[in-house]
Amino acid sequence: ADGELVQYYYGLKDLVTILFYIFIAIILHAVVQEYALDKINRRLHLSKVKHSKFNESGQLVAFHLTSVIWCLYVVVTEGYISNPRSLWENYPHVYLPFQVKFFYLCQLAYWLHALPELYFQKVRKEEIPRQLRCIALYLVHIAGAYLLNLTRLGLILLLLQYLAEFFFHMARLVYFTDENNEKLFNVWAVVFVVTRLFTLTLYILVIGFGLPRVENQALDPERGNFFSFLFNNILFRMSVLLLVCLFQASVMWRFIHFQLRRWREYWNEQSSRKRATTSAKQQAKPLKRDSGYHENGVVKAENGTSPRTKKLKSP
């Protein structure tokens, strides 16, 4: 009421809050599964493999859509998009607004709840390593941005990542309902490339030009300044940028390899369909027959005589 702005800092009590929202995420997961995905699955009659992938994509579409809208609202209201310099100015960003802190705690709770969901959803053993790797990567990056006071940069990166993931899983859902409809995969490909370019540009802007200009370059863990002094060293800064570029290049290489394989399969399928259509047309053409008709295995002319020329007997 008196205009004071309350801000927050991370601590051990966050673990209790995260535990509470893990149970909330499990309940919401069950609601989406029972009242939406199970009803659609009963209509589609999918196989076991497609059934598992459909459930995974359905849950992630709901989560990514909610996270994109929520994250976009946070970065717009906090002014991180209108003022890009705020991503590194006054680093370290130790004290957080309520909505930023609450967003990070909910993100950690969701990805932690995904671990017991592997058992509840009866995920196949072949899929468990891939999903564990994905969960671990999200937890490491989100927790790292939260604990190292890089929450502003982390919000923008999560927004870009979740936007691309939303289109990918939405394209998978459409593909499971209609295997001939792959147009949304093309939309995802464009969004993926654009988000990778923005991600790489943001890394170069913040790491290469922003953090080295921070006024407080001394190591001070008590105030949350962990490594800004390292970016003052040009060798360390260039090494980090090189690692970031190599990682993004590997991601783009896998993406290009996936697209080439998908286009190759598409053109092979189209060519096989054309060959099948051509052979069917050839079989459907009427066969040319000689004039006349058959009688006792002998071709007769229309007047009843044989079409063969008769040999004259010598007298």
pLDDT digits (tens, 9 = 90+) for 220-268: 666 666 666 666 667 777 888 888 889 888 989 988 988 888 788 878 8
User: How many Cβ atoms from other residues are within 10 Å of residue 241's Cβ?
Assistant: 15
Find all residues with CB under 8 Å of 253, minimum gap 6, and list them. none
pLDDT at 23 over 80: yes
In angstroms, the CA 282 to CA 34 distance is 51
Report CA-CA distances (Å) from 248 to 192, 193, 195, 199, 242.
Answer: 12, 11, 11, 9, 10
Q: Which amino acid is at 32?
A: V
In angstroms, the CA 145 to CA 104 distance is 9
pLDDT at 288 over 90: no
Between 308 and 112, name the one with better pLDDT.
112
User: Global pTM?
Assistant: 0.81
Residue in the block written with tokens 């079409």: 307
Q: Which amino acid is at 86?
A: S
Find all residues with CB under 8 Å of 245, minimum gap 6, and list them. 200
In angstroms, the CA 62 to CA 170 distance is 10
In angstroms, the CA 249 to CA 257 distance is 12
The pLDDT tens digits for 97-132 are 999 999 999 999 999 999 999 888 888 888 899 999
* For the ranges 10-14, 263-267, 292-296, 305-309, the one whose mean pLDDT is highest: 10-14
The tokens of 215 are what? 């006024």
Spacing of C-alpha 288 from chain mean position: 57
Q: What is the DSSP string of 55-76?
A: HHHHHHHHHHHHHHHHHHHHHH
Between 104 and 290, name the one with better pLDDT.
104
Residue range 73-98: mean pLDDT, rounded: 89
pLDDT at 34 over 70: yes
State the pLDDT at residue 247.
Answer: 87
What phi, psi does 96 have (nearest 5°)? -115, 145
The tokens of 192 are what? 């993926």
207 close to 237: Cβ distance less than 8 angstroms: yes
Residue range 138-153: mean pLDDT, rounded: 92
The tokens of 90 are what? 């006054």
